[in-house]
Structure 1
Amino acid sequence: MATIAGTVRTTDAKLLRFALRLDAMGTGANGAVYLVVAAIFGEMFGLPAVFLYPIGAFLVAFAAAVFFLASRPTVSRAAVGVVMAVNIAWVAASAELLIAGWFPLTGLGTALVIAQAVVVAGFTGLQFAGLRKAA
């Protein structure tokens, strides 16, 4: 289970690759939904569509990058660290959104923000476990 220049070999990274792919699929689906039904979500959740469109575009692009990372013959530890940092920033921004009251969230909107933060934290935990296992 050796590492080579900050990378993880394919045979050592099953959990890590699983965590990255799971993150990519969930993030990409979430971003696509934001892009397709932002106006409906805006009303249901109290989030303005003008906010959801760029977030959706970012999520789709981020998901593509994470999926690409997971598909490489070797996985860069630094790149996984960046993915984990972005995920942690998402969780922190979710908490800030709730605490600061940036938007007039509905009850469903509050539940959505909390659920997404919990799921993203779970992705990050799996990625961390995958990095440790591959060490």
Structure 2
Amino acid sequence: MTTTTSRPRTPSLLGADPLRTALRLDAVVSGANGLAYLAAAPLLADLLGVPAGALRGLGGFLLVFAAGVALVAAGRPVRAGAVEVVVGGNLLWTAGSVAAVVAGRFDLTTAGTVWVLLQAAVVAGFAALQLATLRTR
């Protein structure tokens, strides 16, 4: 008689499929930021110190990125290579954000500096979460 054992499923704050949930959350947050940058560019330009045109460009990019991440999350199954591309994109965004602050790329206000570094930390968190949940598969 042969018995098989499987690794017990542990409850997760991210639900039954933590990788898919992490990707969906990334898509929602990226999409919301993209919409905000597009819709409120003139208001955010003054608050953050980033030109409205740059915010619109970033907003458009974020909407495309969010759509791509949503497609990866919708895959059956979620493809590891596609997740790695998302993680790479998130890490590039994080590095670019920090570099923009350090290099003085924009005339950021204090709020702008805090915002850029905060969103860089959130995006780095998404990358770490996605990579960690990918490795548990």
Q: TM-score, structure 2 length as denominator? A: 0.87
Counterpart position of 2:84: 81
Please tell me whether residue 68 in structure 1 is matched to residue 71 in structure 2.
yes
Which structure has more strand as a fraction of its residues?
A: 1
Unmatched 5+ residue regions in structure 1? 2-12
Which structure shows the bigger proportion of residues in helix conformation?
A: 1
Alignment deviations for residues 42-66 of structure 1 (CA, whole Å, 9 cap, x no partner) = 0111000111111100101110111
Question: What do residues 90-124 of structure 1 show as CA deviations (whole Å, max 9, x unaligned)?
Answer: 01001110110011100100010011001001101
CA radius of gyration, larger in: 2
* Corresponding residue of 1:38: 41
Q: What is the alpha-carbon distance in structure 1 between the residues aligned to residue 95 and residue 73 of structure 2?
A: 24
1:22-33 equivalence runs, <5 A: 22-33=25-36
**Which AA in structure 1 matches 2:22?**
A
Question: TM-score, normalised to structure 1's length?
Answer: 0.88
Identify the structure with bigger relative contact order (alpha carbons < 8 Å, sequence gap 6+). Answer: 1
Whole-angstrom distance in 1 between the partners of 2:111 and 2:102: 16
Runs (4+) of structure 1 exceeding 6 A deviation are none
